Chains A and B, each alone.
Chain A
Amino acid sequence: MAERFPPELLKGTTDLVVLAVLARERLHGYALIQRLRESSGDRFRINEGSLYPLLHRLERAKWLRAREQEAGGRVRKSYETTAAGKKELARRTREWEAFRDAVQDLVAPHPDSSERPSGNRERSPR
């Protein structure tokens, strides 16, 4: 089993990850947890119980839309990212990429200390 990410690393990125996954497909809570695990090779594990307050918060912010569907005699609530949520996702993705690059610049070993990186350094293509 792959090593899980520590909770403090997940903390600032959970909203982003949830918006991204739900922008691709509509899922209910349990399926979302499973998808996060599968897509991250079981490294992205959030506290399952914490997911629902988070989903409700994103729903109140109009970034997620909840739909109730009947499945197997039960009414299930599934979520998907709204247009406003996708805009927020794009903004957060840009923010995350800038953050990731900055951290990368800071932690990457540099052979020549005179060429210490700056925040304006050209980013490597992804």
Chain B
Amino acid sequence: MKPVLQRIDAILARIPADSRSGRKIHGEMVDHLGDAVAARVAEGEAYEAALEHAVDDFGPADELEPAYYRDYVRSRYLLGFVDREAFGDGRLLRSLGITLLLLGVLCYQVLPTVAAHAGSMALVHALLTSALQDPGSARGLMETAVEQTLPFELDPRLGAVRPWGVVMGVGLLLFVVAGARSLRRLRMSVSGAELLLLGLLGAGGAVSLLTTVDPSRYALAFIAGVFLPVADDPARDGLEAQGVFAWWTSVAVVAGGVWIWFRAWRAGVADTFLLRQGAFWLLVLALSIHWMSHPLLRDGLLRMAEDPDAIPPAQIHGLLTGDLTRFVAGSVGLVAATLGLGRVFAAADRVFLARGG
């Protein structure tokens, strides 16, 4: 026969202790055995024998293990698959936020960026090599390429990419709000007003991403600015204001992050490793947003607004490559920070449950 503690362990083998339902089952079983052993010891039985008999009375592990697992699944999952706990404590909201954010990064950032920059670079290469010999042909080539290679800027089709930006913004907001709930469980004394402030920071980050980062727009506007200086360019409107907004949003997100961890430290939270991890990923998140909100092309456009010859065509390739690198690095950073913060929030949930929920 297995040693008595292993028999107890065998009954609870499949019931995770980092879930609320699982912890209740663990707790009840331990309480029951504790009561049974205490009663037997009070009647004069030796402790080891009392424990052995209490587990005997509890029942055979091979029969109870599936029964307890079924009970756990029924307690935790609605219809066998909808996780009630995740819905109740914000984990579902956080997972939804992560999913939307990553989907938005892919569809609003990565794919249009790569398409727009690759198209722009091909166009610039063609213009700089052969077509420049004939300015008329270069202009025709530019107009055709703008229509065919860089469709996102054309108003009727711009709508196709914008919704993904909204998806990304909503995802970021949900992620931040649900994550703040997880941090709150680490017994940080966060007030309602402070949670609201966190929500506003998340919203600021979302709006910043949504309004200032549209890589295809900058790529096209920049090329058009260089080669078609007389063209009507709506993309230049408001660029400066967007830049200022993006800058302050980045500052606010970093400051908010520092403040959160400072508050946690002041509150005496012992999970310093968790806090360090969280601080690191928050910094990566802020840097990614900052990178993606400050394309080199926008600065180039602003300079060209003052002096049309500020950027010589030979530098175009460098700027496009630099921005492409920024956007890809920013996207990778955003994804890594999202997943990293998600893990920190999940660890915070586990700590919370381990402390008795």
Contact = CB atoms under 8 A, between A and B. Distances in A.
A28 B29 contact: no
B31 A30 contact: yes
B95 interface: no
A52 B31 contact: no
A105 to B, nearest CB: 35
Interface in B5-30: 11, 24-25, 27-29
A48 B40 CA distance: 15
B131 interface: no
Q: Interface residue tally of chain A, by bracket?
A: 10 to 19
Nearest to B11: A49
A26 interface: no
A50 B29 CA distance: 11
B89 interface: no
Centre residue among A30, A49, A60, A76 by max chain B CB count within 10 A: A49
B31 A74 contact: yes
Contacts of B71: 52-53, 56-57
Contacts of B107: none
A77 interface: yes
Interface in A63-102: 74-77
Contacts of A74: 31
A49 B64 CA distance: 7
Nearest to A28: B31
Interface residues of B, number: 23
Contacts, number: 54
Contact of B36 (A47, A48, A60, A75): A48
Contacts of B11: 49
Nearest to B65: A49
A74 B67 CA distance: 26
Contacts of B36: 30, 48
A34 B57 CA distance: 12
Majority SS at the chain A contact face: helix
A47 B39 CA distance: 17
Given A47-B59, A49-B64, A77-B24, A56 B35 contact: no
B32 to A, nearest CB: 5
A76 B31 CA distance: 8
B159 interface: no
Contacts of A28: 31
Contact of B74 (A47, A48, A57, A76): A57
Contacts of B58: 47-49
Nearest to A74: B31
Given A34-B39, A48-B58, A49-B58, 20 more contacts: A29-B28, A29-B32, A30-B31, A30-B35, A30-B36, A31-B35, A48-B57, A48-B59, A52-B28, A52-B32, A53-B67, A53-B70, A53-B71, A56-B71, A56-B75, A57-B71, A74-B31, A75-B27, A75-B356, A77-B28
16 contacts: A30-B39, A31-B35, A48-B57, A49-B59, A49-B64, A49-B67, A49-B68, A50-B59, A50-B67, A52-B71, A53-B67, A53-B68, A53-B70, A75-B27, A77-B28, A77-B31
Question: Which 8 A-B pairs rank lowest in CB-CB distance, beginning with the nearest?
Answer: A49-B59, A30-B35, A53-B71, A49-B58, A47-B59, A49-B64, A48-B58, A48-B57
Interface of A: 28-31, 34, 47-50, 52-53, 56-57, 60, 74-77
